[in-house]
Protein backbone atom coordinates (compact mmCIF):
# COMPACT_ATOMS: atom_id res chain seq x y z
CA UNK A 1 0.00 0.00 0.00
CA UNK A 2 1.36 3.45 -0.89
CA UNK A 3 0.85 6.61 1.18
CA UNK A 4 -1.45 7.92 -1.57
CA UNK A 5 -3.75 4.89 -1.21
CA UNK A 6 -4.02 5.03 2.57
CA UNK A 7 -6.84 7.62 2.90
CA UNK A 8 -9.00 5.68 0.40
CA UNK A 9 -8.47 2.40 2.27
CA UNK A 10 -9.44 3.91 5.63
CA UNK A 11 -12.52 5.56 4.12
CA UNK A 12 -13.50 2.30 2.41
CA UNK A 13 -13.23 0.43 5.71
CA UNK A 14 -15.54 2.99 7.37
CA UNK A 15 -17.99 2.73 4.49
CA UNK A 16 -18.03 -1.07 4.60
CA UNK A 17 -18.87 -0.89 8.28
CA UNK A 18 -21.86 1.37 7.46
CA UNK A 19 -23.11 -0.54 4.37
CA UNK A 20 -25.68 -1.69 3.37
CA UNK A 21 -27.73 0.93 5.19
CA UNK A 22 -28.38 3.46 2.40
CA UNK A 23 -28.92 6.28 4.89
CA UNK A 24 -25.59 5.73 6.61
CA UNK A 25 -23.27 6.65 3.78
CA UNK A 26 -23.49 9.89 1.75
CA UNK A 27 -20.17 9.57 -0.07
CA UNK A 28 -21.62 10.52 -3.47
CA UNK A 29 -23.21 13.63 -2.02
CA UNK A 30 -19.92 14.64 -0.41
CA UNK A 31 -18.12 13.99 -3.70
CA UNK A 32 -20.59 16.25 -5.52
CA UNK A 33 -19.95 19.11 -3.11
CA UNK A 34 -16.19 18.70 -3.43
CA UNK A 35 -16.31 18.54 -7.24
CA UNK A 36 -18.49 21.66 -7.43
CA UNK A 37 -16.01 23.50 -5.20
CA UNK A 38 -13.00 22.23 -7.18
CA UNK A 39 -14.46 23.48 -10.48
CA UNK A 40 -16.07 26.62 -9.07
CA UNK A 41 -19.58 25.70 -10.27
CA UNK A 42 -22.89 25.53 -8.41
CA UNK A 43 -23.57 21.83 -8.94
CA UNK A 44 -21.92 18.51 -9.64
CA UNK A 45 -24.00 15.37 -10.17
CA UNK A 46 -22.23 12.06 -9.63
CA UNK A 47 -23.21 9.27 -12.03
CA UNK A 48 -22.11 5.74 -12.86
CA UNK A 49 -20.02 6.51 -15.99
CA UNK A 50 -19.11 9.14 -18.54
CA UNK A 51 -21.62 7.53 -20.92
CA UNK A 52 -24.31 7.90 -18.24
CA UNK A 53 -23.26 11.53 -17.73
CA UNK A 54 -23.73 12.29 -21.44
CA UNK A 55 -27.07 10.46 -21.67
CA UNK A 56 -28.36 12.18 -18.55
CA UNK A 57 -27.19 15.61 -19.73
CA UNK A 58 -28.76 15.22 -23.18
CA UNK A 59 -32.04 14.12 -21.63
CA UNK A 60 -31.91 17.03 -19.18
CA UNK A 61 -31.53 19.65 -21.92
CA UNK A 62 -34.52 18.12 -23.68
CA UNK A 63 -32.88 16.27 -26.57
CA UNK A 64 -35.22 13.60 -27.94
CA UNK A 65 -36.67 11.94 -31.03
CA UNK A 66 -36.66 14.19 -34.09
CA UNK A 67 -33.80 16.35 -32.81
CA UNK A 68 -30.30 16.60 -34.23
CA UNK A 69 -27.14 16.90 -32.15
CA UNK A 70 -24.00 18.27 -33.77
CA UNK A 71 -20.96 16.23 -32.72
CA UNK A 72 -17.36 16.13 -33.98
CA UNK A 73 -16.45 13.16 -36.17
CA UNK A 74 -13.16 13.10 -34.22
CA UNK A 75 -14.76 11.43 -31.22
CA UNK A 76 -15.36 8.00 -29.72
CA UNK A 77 -18.35 5.65 -29.78
CA UNK A 78 -19.13 6.57 -26.16
CA UNK A 79 -19.60 10.22 -27.13
CA UNK A 80 -22.11 9.48 -29.87
CA UNK A 81 -24.03 6.47 -28.50
CA UNK A 82 -25.84 8.59 -25.85
CA UNK A 83 -27.21 10.82 -28.62
CA UNK A 84 -28.70 7.76 -30.30
CA UNK A 85 -30.07 6.52 -26.94
CA UNK A 86 -32.21 9.67 -26.70
CA UNK A 87 -33.75 8.97 -30.11
CA UNK A 88 -31.99 11.99 -31.64
CA UNK A 89 -29.78 11.92 -34.71
CA UNK A 90 -26.05 12.64 -34.51
CA UNK A 91 -24.79 15.03 -37.20
CA UNK A 92 -21.06 14.63 -37.67
CA UNK A 93 -18.96 17.76 -37.99
CA UNK A 94 -15.56 17.72 -39.65
CA UNK A 95 -12.40 19.14 -38.08
CA UNK A 96 -9.64 21.50 -39.14
CA UNK A 97 -6.16 20.17 -39.94
CA UNK A 98 -5.29 20.65 -36.25
CA UNK A 99 -8.03 18.14 -35.30
CA UNK A 100 -10.31 20.67 -33.61
CA UNK A 101 -13.93 21.18 -34.59
CA UNK A 102 -14.33 23.12 -37.86
CA UNK A 103 -16.58 26.07 -37.07
CA UNK A 104 -17.48 26.54 -40.73
CA UNK A 105 -18.63 22.93 -41.07
CA UNK A 106 -20.50 23.31 -37.77
CA UNK A 107 -22.42 26.27 -39.17
CA UNK A 108 -23.00 24.54 -42.51
CA UNK A 109 -24.49 21.44 -40.86
CA UNK A 110 -26.65 23.26 -38.34
CA UNK A 111 -30.17 22.74 -39.68
CA UNK A 112 -33.66 23.54 -38.34
CA UNK A 113 -33.80 20.31 -36.29
CA UNK A 114 -30.53 20.99 -34.47
CA UNK A 115 -31.16 21.09 -30.73
CA UNK A 116 -27.67 20.83 -29.19
CA UNK A 117 -23.95 20.77 -29.83
CA UNK A 118 -21.85 18.12 -28.11
CA UNK A 119 -18.18 19.17 -28.38
CA UNK A 120 -15.83 16.27 -27.61
CA UNK A 121 -12.48 17.15 -26.10
CA UNK A 122 -10.62 14.12 -27.38
CA UNK A 123 -7.11 13.61 -25.97
CA UNK A 124 -7.82 16.47 -23.55
CA UNK A 125 -7.78 19.18 -26.27
CA UNK A 126 -10.55 21.76 -26.24
CA UNK A 127 -9.97 23.55 -29.55
CA UNK A 128 -11.91 26.79 -29.18
CA UNK A 129 -14.73 26.01 -26.71
CA UNK A 130 -15.62 29.69 -26.31
CA UNK A 131 -16.28 30.00 -30.06
CA UNK A 132 -18.36 26.79 -30.14
CA UNK A 133 -20.42 27.95 -27.18
CA UNK A 134 -20.90 31.42 -28.69
CA UNK A 135 -22.11 29.82 -31.94
CA UNK A 136 -24.57 27.63 -30.04
CA UNK A 137 -25.95 30.57 -28.05
CA UNK A 138 -26.43 32.56 -31.22
CA UNK A 139 -28.44 29.67 -32.75
CA UNK A 140 -30.39 28.91 -29.57
CA UNK A 141 -28.75 25.50 -29.14
CA UNK A 142 -27.84 23.76 -25.91
CA UNK A 143 -24.22 22.75 -25.27
CA UNK A 144 -23.35 19.45 -23.58
CA UNK A 145 -19.57 19.13 -23.32
CA UNK A 146 -17.88 15.74 -23.49
CA UNK A 147 -14.97 16.54 -21.17
CA UNK A 148 -14.42 12.87 -20.25
CA UNK A 149 -10.71 13.10 -21.18
CA UNK A 150 -10.34 16.76 -20.30
CA UNK A 151 -9.94 16.97 -16.51
CA UNK A 152 -7.59 19.88 -15.80
CA UNK A 153 -7.46 21.35 -19.30
CA UNK A 154 -8.05 25.08 -19.11
CA UNK A 155 -8.94 27.29 -22.08
CA UNK A 156 -8.69 31.07 -21.75
CA UNK A 157 -8.49 30.65 -17.96
CA UNK A 158 -11.62 28.47 -17.74
CA UNK A 159 -11.75 24.69 -17.14
CA UNK A 160 -13.19 22.60 -19.95
CA UNK A 161 -16.57 21.28 -18.91
CA UNK A 162 -17.68 24.68 -17.60
CA UNK A 163 -18.34 26.40 -20.96
CA UNK A 164 -21.66 24.88 -21.91
CA UNK A 165 -24.96 24.12 -20.19
CA UNK A 166 -23.63 20.84 -18.78
CA UNK A 167 -20.10 19.40 -18.68
CA UNK A 168 -19.66 15.62 -18.62
CA UNK A 169 -16.68 13.72 -17.22
CA UNK A 170 -15.67 10.07 -16.87
CA UNK A 171 -14.00 8.60 -13.79
CA UNK A 172 -13.03 5.39 -15.54
CA UNK A 173 -9.56 4.00 -14.87
CA UNK A 174 -6.99 5.75 -17.03
CA UNK A 175 -8.70 9.12 -16.76
CA UNK A 176 -6.70 11.73 -14.83
CA UNK A 177 -9.29 11.66 -12.04
CA UNK A 178 -10.45 8.06 -11.65
CA UNK A 179 -12.47 5.71 -9.46
CA UNK A 180 -12.52 2.48 -11.46
CA UNK A 181 -15.83 3.40 -13.10
CA UNK A 182 -17.95 6.50 -12.66
CA UNK A 183 -18.64 9.96 -13.97
CA UNK A 184 -20.05 13.35 -13.12
CA UNK A 185 -21.84 16.32 -14.63
CA UNK A 186 -21.07 19.97 -13.88
CA UNK A 187 -23.95 22.47 -13.95
CA UNK A 188 -24.43 26.10 -13.06
CA UNK A 189 -28.18 26.16 -13.63
CA UNK A 190 -30.25 24.94 -10.66
CA UNK A 191 -33.09 23.57 -12.77
CA UNK A 192 -30.83 21.62 -15.11
CA UNK A 193 -28.93 20.19 -12.14
CA UNK A 194 -32.21 19.09 -10.50
CA UNK A 195 -33.34 17.51 -13.77
CA UNK A 196 -30.05 15.59 -14.04
CA UNK A 197 -30.46 14.36 -10.44
CA UNK A 198 -34.00 13.21 -11.17
CA UNK A 199 -33.02 11.43 -14.39
CA UNK A 200 -30.07 9.72 -12.71
CA UNK A 201 -32.37 7.97 -10.27
CA UNK A 202 -35.61 7.07 -12.09
CA UNK A 203 -37.17 10.44 -11.19
CA UNK A 204 -37.57 9.31 -7.58
CA UNK A 205 -36.11 12.62 -6.42
CA UNK A 206 -37.85 15.03 -8.82
CA UNK A 207 -37.04 18.70 -9.42
CA UNK A 208 -39.01 21.12 -7.19
CA UNK A 209 -42.68 21.25 -8.11
CA UNK A 210 -42.72 17.90 -9.90
CA UNK A 211 -44.13 14.59 -8.71
CA UNK A 212 -41.85 11.61 -8.06
CA UNK A 213 -41.77 9.03 -10.87
CA UNK A 214 -43.64 11.42 -13.17
CA UNK A 215 -41.13 10.84 -15.98
CA UNK A 216 -38.84 8.08 -17.16
CA UNK A 217 -35.29 8.16 -15.93
CA UNK A 218 -32.58 5.63 -15.37
CA UNK A 219 -30.42 4.12 -12.66
CA UNK A 220 -27.18 5.96 -13.29
CA UNK A 221 -26.23 6.38 -9.62
CA UNK A 222 -22.56 6.19 -8.64
CA UNK A 223 -21.85 3.29 -6.25
CA UNK A 224 -20.78 4.56 -2.84
CA UNK A 225 -17.46 2.64 -2.70
CA UNK A 226 -16.49 4.25 -6.01
CA UNK A 227 -17.40 7.67 -4.60
CA UNK A 228 -14.93 6.99 -1.77
CA UNK A 229 -12.16 6.29 -4.28
CA UNK A 230 -13.12 9.36 -6.33
CA UNK A 231 -13.01 11.57 -3.22
CA UNK A 232 -9.58 10.28 -2.23
CA UNK A 233 -8.28 10.98 -5.74
CA UNK A 234 -9.97 14.38 -5.89
CA UNK A 235 -8.04 15.30 -2.73
CA UNK A 236 -4.83 14.76 -4.73
CA UNK A 237 -6.20 15.96 -8.05
CA UNK A 238 -3.50 18.63 -8.53
CA UNK A 239 -0.81 15.96 -8.11
CA UNK A 240 -2.55 13.59 -10.52
CA UNK A 241 -2.92 16.36 -13.11
CA UNK A 242 0.71 17.48 -12.67
CA UNK A 243 1.85 13.89 -13.05
CA UNK A 244 -0.03 13.33 -16.33
CA UNK A 245 1.26 16.59 -17.76
CA UNK A 246 4.83 15.67 -16.77
CA UNK A 247 4.47 12.19 -18.30
CA UNK A 248 3.27 13.63 -21.61
CA UNK A 249 5.97 16.28 -21.64
CA UNK A 250 8.69 13.73 -20.93
CA UNK A 251 7.48 11.40 -23.65
CA UNK A 252 7.19 14.18 -26.22
CA UNK A 253 10.64 15.51 -25.35
CA UNK A 254 12.36 12.13 -25.39
CA UNK A 255 10.82 10.92 -28.66
CA UNK A 256 12.86 12.49 -31.42
CA UNK A 257 12.19 10.60 -34.58
CA UNK A 258 11.71 11.23 -38.29
CA UNK A 259 8.11 11.41 -39.43
CA UNK A 260 6.70 12.29 -36.00
CA UNK A 261 5.79 15.89 -35.17
CA UNK A 262 4.43 16.73 -31.72
CA UNK A 263 0.96 18.32 -31.87
CA UNK A 264 0.91 21.71 -30.13
CA UNK A 265 -2.04 22.62 -27.89
CA UNK A 266 -4.59 25.05 -29.38
CA UNK A 267 -3.97 28.78 -28.76
CA UNK A 268 -4.89 29.94 -25.26
CA UNK A 269 -5.12 26.40 -23.89
CA UNK A 270 -3.32 24.88 -20.91
CA UNK A 271 -3.53 21.30 -22.10
CA UNK A 272 -3.71 18.45 -19.57
CA UNK A 273 -1.38 16.15 -21.54
CA UNK A 274 -3.99 13.39 -21.48
CA UNK A 275 -2.28 11.54 -24.35
CA UNK A 276 1.03 12.62 -25.86
CA UNK A 277 0.20 13.39 -29.50
CA UNK A 278 2.18 13.35 -32.73
CA UNK A 279 1.22 13.89 -36.34
CA UNK A 280 2.60 10.98 -38.34
CA UNK A 281 4.11 11.57 -41.77
CA UNK A 282 5.26 8.01 -42.41
CA UNK A 283 3.90 5.53 -44.93
CA UNK A 284 0.88 3.51 -43.71
CA UNK A 285 0.43 5.47 -40.47
CA UNK A 286 -2.28 3.10 -39.14
CA UNK A 287 0.05 0.16 -39.72
CA UNK A 288 2.72 2.06 -37.80
CA UNK A 289 0.31 2.54 -34.88
CA UNK A 290 -0.55 -1.17 -34.92
CA UNK A 291 3.14 -2.06 -34.89
CA UNK A 292 3.63 0.16 -31.84
CA UNK A 293 0.69 -1.54 -30.12
CA UNK A 294 2.25 -4.94 -30.88
CA UNK A 295 5.45 -3.70 -29.26
CA UNK A 296 3.61 -2.70 -26.09
CA UNK A 297 2.96 1.01 -26.77
CA UNK A 298 -0.80 1.42 -26.18
CA UNK A 299 -2.27 3.98 -28.54
CA UNK A 300 -5.67 5.10 -29.85
CA UNK A 301 -5.47 3.76 -33.40
CA UNK A 302 -3.21 0.74 -32.95
CA UNK A 303 -4.67 -0.64 -29.70
CA UNK A 304 -8.27 0.58 -29.80
CA UNK A 305 -8.95 0.85 -33.55
CA UNK A 306 -9.96 4.51 -33.38
CA UNK A 307 -11.56 5.73 -36.62
CA UNK A 308 -13.46 8.87 -37.43
CA UNK A 309 -16.86 8.23 -35.80
CA UNK A 310 -18.87 8.89 -38.96
CA UNK A 311 -17.26 5.70 -40.37
CA UNK A 312 -18.48 3.39 -37.58
CA UNK A 313 -21.05 0.90 -38.93
CA UNK A 314 -23.62 1.78 -36.25
CA UNK A 315 -23.40 5.47 -37.14
CA UNK A 316 -23.15 5.36 -40.95
CA UNK A 317 -26.97 5.51 -41.31
CA UNK A 318 -26.69 8.98 -39.72
CA UNK A 319 -23.78 10.03 -41.88
CA UNK A 320 -24.80 10.97 -45.42
CA UNK A 321 -21.48 12.67 -46.26
CA UNK A 322 -18.07 11.62 -44.95
CA UNK A 323 -15.84 13.91 -42.90
CA UNK A 324 -12.60 13.59 -44.87
CA UNK A 325 -10.36 15.76 -42.72
CA UNK A 326 -11.44 13.95 -39.55
CA UNK A 327 -10.57 10.61 -41.18
CA UNK A 328 -7.15 11.95 -42.19
CA UNK A 329 -6.45 13.44 -38.76
CA UNK A 330 -7.40 10.25 -36.91
CA UNK A 331 -5.41 8.08 -39.32
CA UNK A 332 -2.29 10.23 -38.92
CA UNK A 333 -2.37 10.87 -35.17
CA UNK A 334 -0.32 8.85 -32.74
CA UNK A 335 -1.96 9.24 -29.30
CA UNK A 336 -0.26 7.20 -26.60
CA UNK A 337 -2.51 5.98 -23.80
CA UNK A 338 -1.08 6.63 -20.34
CA UNK A 339 -2.02 5.77 -16.77
CA UNK A 340 -0.75 6.93 -13.39
CA UNK A 341 1.38 3.77 -13.24
CA UNK A 342 3.66 4.86 -16.09
CA UNK A 343 6.81 5.91 -14.24
CA UNK A 344 9.80 7.71 -15.76
CA UNK A 345 11.54 4.45 -16.70
CA UNK A 346 8.49 3.15 -18.57
CA UNK A 347 7.93 6.50 -20.29
CA UNK A 348 11.57 6.49 -21.47
CA UNK A 349 11.21 2.90 -22.65
CA UNK A 350 8.04 3.71 -24.62
CA UNK A 351 9.74 6.79 -26.13
CA UNK A 352 12.68 4.63 -27.17
CA UNK A 353 10.43 2.05 -28.85
CA UNK A 354 8.48 4.76 -30.71
CA UNK A 355 11.68 6.40 -32.00
CA UNK A 356 13.21 3.05 -32.94
CA UNK A 357 10.10 1.96 -34.85
CA UNK A 358 9.75 5.34 -36.59
CA UNK A 359 13.35 5.13 -37.86
CA UNK A 360 12.80 1.56 -38.99
CA UNK A 361 9.43 2.34 -40.56
CA UNK A 362 10.99 5.13 -42.62
CA UNK A 363 13.61 2.78 -44.01
CA UNK A 364 11.60 -0.39 -44.30
CA UNK A 365 7.81 -0.10 -43.98
CA UNK A 366 6.04 -3.48 -43.77
C1 LIG B 1 -14.18 11.14 -24.87
C2 LIG B 1 -14.95 10.13 -24.07
N3 LIG B 1 -16.30 10.23 -24.02
C4 LIG B 1 -17.04 9.38 -23.30
C5 LIG B 1 -16.45 8.37 -22.57
C6 LIG B 1 -17.33 7.44 -21.80
O7 LIG B 1 -16.95 7.34 -20.46
P8 LIG B 1 -17.21 5.96 -19.66
O9 LIG B 1 -16.25 4.95 -20.19
O10 LIG B 1 -16.95 6.32 -18.25
O11 LIG B 1 -18.62 5.59 -19.92
C12 LIG B 1 -15.06 8.24 -22.58
C13 LIG B 1 -14.35 7.19 -21.80
O14 LIG B 1 -14.28 6.06 -22.08
C15 LIG B 1 -14.30 9.12 -23.36
O16 LIG B 1 -12.97 9.02 -23.42
Helix (H) or strand (E) holding 92: strand 89-93
In this prediction, residue 366 has a pLDDT band, given cuts at 50, 70 and 90, of low
Do the Cβ atoms of 45 and 266 come closer than 8 Å? Answer: no
CA distance 350 to 287: 17
User: Which residue's CA is the closest to the ligand 1 atom numbered 7?
Assistant: 50
Q: Confirm or reject: Cβ of 120 under 6 Å from ligand 1.
A: yes
pLDDT at residue number 363: 58
User: Which residue's CA is the closest to the ligand 1 atom numbered 15?
Assistant: 148
Q: How many whole angstroms from 69 Cα to the centroid of ligand 1? A: 18
CA distance 215 to 205: 11
Length reported for the chain: 366
Top-confidence residue, 149 or 18: 149
pLDDT at residue number 4: 76
83-142 tens-digit pLDDT: 999 999 999 999 999 999 999 999 999 999 999 999 999 999 999 999 999 999 999 999
pTM of this structure: 0.97
Task: Judge whether residue 342 has pLDDT over 70.
Answer: yes
Pick the atom of ligand 1 nearest to 120's CA: 1
The alpha-helical segments, DSSP class H, found in 256-343 are 285-294, 300-304, 324-331
Q: How many whole angstroms from 182 Cα to the centroid of ligand 1? A: 10
Mutate to test the pocket of ligand 1, among 51, 127, 176 (most ligand atoms within 8 A of CB): 51
293-303 tens-digit pLDDT: 999 999 999 99
Rg of the chain (C-alpha set): 21
Counts for the chain of helices (H) and strands (E), in that order: 13, 13
The mean pLDDT of the chain is 95
Percent of the chain clearing pLDDT 70 (strictly above): 98
207-245 tens-digit pLDDT: 999 999 999 999 999 999 999 999 999 999 999 999 999
Amino acid sequence: MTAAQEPALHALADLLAAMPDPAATGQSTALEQELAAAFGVRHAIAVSSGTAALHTALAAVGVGPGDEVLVPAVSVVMSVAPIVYTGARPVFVDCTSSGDIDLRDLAAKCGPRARAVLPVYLWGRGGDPAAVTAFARQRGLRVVEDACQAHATVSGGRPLGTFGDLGCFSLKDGKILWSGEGGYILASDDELAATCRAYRSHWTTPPPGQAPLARLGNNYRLAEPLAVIARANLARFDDLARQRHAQATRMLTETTAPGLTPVAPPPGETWNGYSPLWRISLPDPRGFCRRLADRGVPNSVGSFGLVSCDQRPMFTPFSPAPCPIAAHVVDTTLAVVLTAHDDDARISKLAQIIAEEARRWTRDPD
